[in-house]
Each structure stands twice: as C-alpha cells, then as structure tokens.
Amino acid sequence: MVNANTRRLDTWFEQLERVPLAEKFRVEVVGGNVHMTPQRAIHWQIISEILRAVEDRFGRDATIFSNVRIDFPGLENGFCPDVALLSATAEKADDDRWRHQDVEFVAEVISQGTAAIDYGPKRLAYAAAEVPLYLIADPYRGRCHIFTRPQDGDYTTETKVAFGQELDLTGTVLGLTLRTDAFPATDRPPRLPGAHSKSLAWEP
C-alpha cells in the first residue's frame, strides 16, 4: 500500500519532471527539501571508478545503478544515490520501485553544496535503513569515509582513507579492495550551507 509519505514524494518527482532542464540535474528530496545539483566531470569520474569496481566484483547482472530513486526512512526522503548495490534477491515493490530494505551498499560523491547533506541527513537515513556499507568520496578533502555497522539510527564505525590509498573492503558486503589512485581531487572548497550554490533547495 502506498502511504502518504510516498504519495507526497511521487507528487514532487512528477512536478520536477516538468521543470525545464531538470534532466541536466541530479534531483532528490531530502527531508522534504528538493535539491537539484549539476553533475561535474570530477564527480562522474569517481562514480565511474566505483561502478566499474563493483561490476567487476559482482558481474553485470548484479542490481547496481546510479541516480535512481529509492525512498529511505524519514519524512520525504526520496534519494537518488550516486551508486547503489542491491541484494541478489532484490525485487521491486508494488509501486515498481526498489526497496531500501534490499540496499547493501551506497556510495555518494561530494558535489558543490551537498557536503552537509551527504555527511548528515543521508548518513542517518542510510543507517536507519540498516544499509551495511556507506561510502563517501570527498574530492574536496581528498579522502574517503567508510561507514559500517549501523545501529540505533547511525553508524558505529567510520574509517577515513586518503585518495591514492587502497580501501580494504574485503570484510564488508562488497568483499573487494577498491583502488582510489584514479580518484581526482580538487583544491576548490565545497560551498558552505547558505552560500550561493548551483545546488538548489526549497521547501514544499
């Protein structure tokens, strides 16, 4: 059964699909706020490296995708993760969307204006959904943050690894070592909340 929260998100995304040029942005609803963020080359390069590594590990038949809506716990959280891997037994729900209960791995790459979201509300929502592994790749800090062991609405373990070093994820659901030497970094600082940004957010 579709609940009121899902119907509200459906309405948001249906309206956003009609916005001119919306297809050129990554569009999400986080805590009832709409965020539209343009994807930069540096952003997509890191996503591609992660996607390729996961596909090499699990094969092209694995349920892995980028920028596809999945509704997560919390009020109006319609996320479109940069990378999401679902379990081998994952099936779509009655509304023809993937369920957050089947998500085993999520990766987010920090963009201008999204740092506070990825480190804050998204981290908590992924933990509440008990996603076993959450990876943040931050080209502005030149490092990755690995979050594991979700419990009581947050992750209990965080590991930081600088770009250029290998991420030992062999003890996680991925079961692989992820190389980051091809992850590009930038000296440009991420935009602070409230600063002018091309990431747009507004309340319904």
Cα-flanking dihedrals φ and ψ of residue 150, to 5°? -70, 135
Q: What is the distance between the alpha carbons of residues 90 and 43, in angstroms, rounded to a whole number?
A: 27
Higher pLDDT, 22 or 193: 22
The predicted pLDDT at position 1 comes to 42
The predicted pLDDT at position 199 comes to 40
The predicted pLDDT at position 60 comes to 85
Higher pLDDT, 174 or 199: 174
- Tokens representing 140 are 């502005």
The predicted pLDDT at position 195 comes to 34
The rounded mean pLDDT for the chain is 84
Beta bridge partner(s), residue 145? 136, 160
Per-residue pLDDT of 41-95, as tens digits, reads 889 999 999 999 999 999 988 999 998 989 999 888 889 999 999 999 998 887 7
* Burial state string for 48-77 with b = 16 or more CB within 10 A and e = fewer than 16: ebbbebbeebbeeeebbebeebbbbbbebb
The predicted pLDDT at position 202 comes to 37
Q: Whole-prediction pTM value?
A: 0.83
> Which range in 35-44, 92-101, 166-175, 185-194 is most confidently predicted, on average pLDDT?
166-175
The predicted pLDDT at position 146 comes to 98
Give me the percent of the chain exceeding a pLDDT of 90. Answer: 58
Q: Which amino acid is at 174?
A: L
Q: What is the distance between the alpha carbons of residues 4 and 32, in angstroms, rounded to a whole number?
A: 13
The predicted pLDDT at position 38 comes to 73
Per-residue pLDDT of 6-23, as tens digits, reads 777 666 566 666 666 556
Per-residue pLDDT of 128-184, as tens digits, reads 999 999 999 999 999 999 999 999 999 999 999 999 999 999 999 999 999 999 999
Higher pLDDT, 26 or 119: 119
Q: What is the distance between the alpha carbons of residues 24 and 31, in angstroms, rounded to a whole number?
A: 22
